[in-house]
Structure formats: structure tokens, C-alpha cells
Amino acid sequence: MTSTVSPVSAAPTGTGAPATASTGLSVAQGSALTIGAVLGTGVLALPAVAATVAGPASLVAWLGLVLLSIPLSATFAALGARFPDGGGVSTFARQAFGAKASAAVGWCFYFAIPVGAPPAASFAGFYVADSLGGGRTSELLTAAGLIVVVTAMNWFGIRISGGVQLLIAGVLATMLAVATLVSLPHADLGNLTPFAPHGWGSVGAAAALLVWAFAGWEAVSSLSGDYRNPGRDVPRATMVALVVVATLYLGIAFATVTVLGPNPGSAPLSDLLVLGFGEVARPVTTLAAVMLSLGAINAYFAGGARLGAALGRDGALPEWLAHGSAAGQVPRRSLLVVAGMSLTTLAVVGVSGAPLAATILVVTGAFTLVYVVGTAAAVKVLPRGTWVHRGAVVSFIATLALLWMTGLQVVSAVVVAALAVLWSSRKGR
């Protein structure tokens, strides 16, 4: 496939009619879904964790990852604009490397979502249980409730879930911005010194902790075919999301360091709100946790359901899943599979007594492999000599470094990818 192929001719066959102005995602809704995928629950705790590891120098790590997000987000936006399809990264891999690579990366992403949903939901469950009591039972019930709610939202189509996501994103952005602004009058620039109390090497350690706060750009690539005008709207939505996420992350991180000082505690957002509004504001953190979890799971379920239907359409999964694979349709069968596997994972974790976050390492390895294959595809198919191609090269190198940092966590993803290749081979693809 050459880099001169147009988005229309590049799209796989069988994708159906494109989304229309009445059924497709708007830029605002697409931005909200992207913000939900990237702005994860880590914003409640990671600023304090990073500050503890690297002191004020943690701000360098935050800024570095924001800068790295520019080429990474631009890479997936460029791919989505050129190859708008429910397969997302799977489609990009097909364009660059063929059917087997498409199946491998598609399986890694699709089956990682129901493994990652319970720990994402459990973050909200922890705050609800802490506020209302009930311990682990409340935590599990809250997590299950969030999965059911997100499934119901997506059952009625991307317009409904996208609209709800827009509301969630607006409330969250306002909440985080207010927490930053009301706390800044209490800032003490003296807290910026010493700037690197644990040495400059600690900046790398902080960056390793923060890197997954910026994951999610690949998650909504499966929704590219659902935009009203993918070639125009996907890059716009991505740019809006990048600006919003970067502003909120850097604002909260700066306030955590300058306001809360060298010992920020474990819940910086709550502490920042209390400084501005008093103790009455502390329960707002529970609301933030619920909405952050809801937004993240919604974005991944929307993209994951679309991906599963596309994989069924392309023969990389049973054809039964292909129902609803055309843009504008609702992939309800794939959605039910994702929801069912998520609740099964939650049940297994609950019965075994394992921590709800125990499955996150498996997800880390899978998403790392997805990033590597996606950026490698971009290097091959995007027009050479352009800024987006240069950004793809930078992104590919960065994700290779991330893969190395992931280590043995990627083994399970490699096994899933191998099974996908075996499936494709038996299907003669």
C-alpha cells in the first residue's frame, strides 16, 4: 500500500455507508470520548506519586510526556483520518502489514479491554466504599454497576454515549480547572526548591510512572469511521483533546508541587479543593473518581465494541460478531461480548480475593504492543517527508522504548497475538 492512497480507496471493503451528519460523531463528542480515554483515574493520585518520587522535577516528566503526546496523538489522528474504519489500529495494521498482523493487534486490543475494565471501575469503587462503607462488597458492586451503565449507554448507539461523554468531560474539566485555580493563591514558589532533591535520574522514574496517564490515543481510533467527516473531524477532535488534557494535567501537577509541597499526600485533588472550599469539598473527589472511571470505560467500550464487529467482518473473529459493523450501526453483539467478559473478569477477581488492580499488568503489555504496531504501521503508510510521518517515526521509537520498559508484562499479549495468527492461518487469510 503506497502513501498516496486516498482514505476512500484505502478503507476495507464491507464497512458500509459512512456516518451522516445526523448519526455521526461531532467534533465535540469525539473530543469528549478522546479526553475520557486519555484523562484516566490516575489524575487523582499520580501528581502526588510523581512529586514524591522526583520532587518539583516531576514537572519536567509531566511536560516531557505532554510533548511526546503531540506526535503520538497526531499519528493516530492522521491514520484515522486516512483510514476511517471500525477496525482502528487493526485496520491500520492491515493496510501496512496484511491480515495476520491485523488479527494479532486486533485480538490484543479487543481482549485487553474486558481485562482492564474491572480495575478502572474499581478505582471509583474504592472511593465509593471509602465514603459509604461496605468495604470490598461495595467496591465490587460499584465496579459492576459502572460496567452495566456503560453497556447500557453504548447499547443505544454512539450518539447517545457520545452525548453523555460530552457532559462527563465538561464536568470533569470544570472540576479539575476549579481545583487548580482555587488552590493557586496558596502556592509557594519556595516549594520549587530544591528542584531535583532526588537527582535528575528520578525524572525518568517519575516518567515511567506517569506514562500510562497519557495512554488512550489508540482507543478511539476504532470510532474514526463514525465521525461525520473523518478526514476533517478526527484531527480536530484530537487537537482539542490534546490541549484540554495537557492543560488539566500540567495545572494539577503544578498546583500539587507548589501548593502541597514536598509531602502532598495520597489525594492531591481532594486536598486542593479543600483549600479553596473547605472540608465540604472533600466528597467531590468521590464524584470525580466515578466520572473519571465512567468516562474511561465508556470510551474503551465504544471503541472496543466497534473493533470486535470489524474483526468479525474481516474474518479475524467469528462472523457472528460482524453484526453492526457498518458506520452508523450499533455493534450490540460485540458490545455484549465485551461487557460479559468484563463482568466475568470482575467475578473471578472477586471470588479469588485478588486485588481488583491485579489484572492491570496484563493490560499494560497488550496496549504497549498495540502502540508499537500502530506507530509502525504509520511509519509505513503515511506520506514520507511530511510532518505526520516524522511524528510517526518519533512515536515508533518512543513506543519501542516503552515496550522495553514493559518487560515480561508483554508475554501474555504475545501469546494472544500468536493465537490470532494461528486463527488467521486456519482461515486461510
If pLDDT is split at 50, 70 and 90, which confidence band does 11 have? very low
Give the per-residue pLDDT at 45. 74
CATH of 7-426, one of 1.20.1740.10, 3.40.50.720, 2.60.40.10, 3.40.30.120: 1.20.1740.10
Bigger pLDDT: 46 or 102?
102
- β-pair partners for 227: 25
Q: How far apart are CA 306 and CA 226, in angstroms?
A: 10
Cα 173-175-177 angle, rounded to 5 deg: 65
Q: Is the pLDDT of residue 301 over 80?
A: yes
Q: Is the pLDDT of residue 275 over 90?
A: no
The answer to whether the CB of 413 falls within 8 A of the CB of 366 is yes
Q: Is the pLDDT of residue 135 over 50?
A: yes
Distances (CA, A) of 68 to 209, 394, 406: 15, 8, 18
109 contact partners, CB below 8 Å, separation of at least 6 = 88, 89, 90, 218, 304, 307, 366, 367, 370
The pLDDT tens digits for 210-231 are 876 777 787 778 888 888 889 8
Residue whose C-alpha cell reads 485533588 in the numeric block: 269
State the average pLDDT over residues 237-248: 92
- β-pair partners for 25: 227
The answer to whether the CB of 295 falls within 8 A of the CB of 44 is no
Give the per-residue pLDDT at 395. 92
The pLDDT tens digits for 91-134 are 999 999 999 999 999 999 999 899 888 888 887 887 787 777 77
Q: Is the pLDDT of residue 338 over 90?
A: yes
Q: Is the pLDDT of residue 10 over 70?
A: no
Distances (CA, A) of 384 to 3, 218, 373, 374, 396: 8, 21, 18, 16, 15
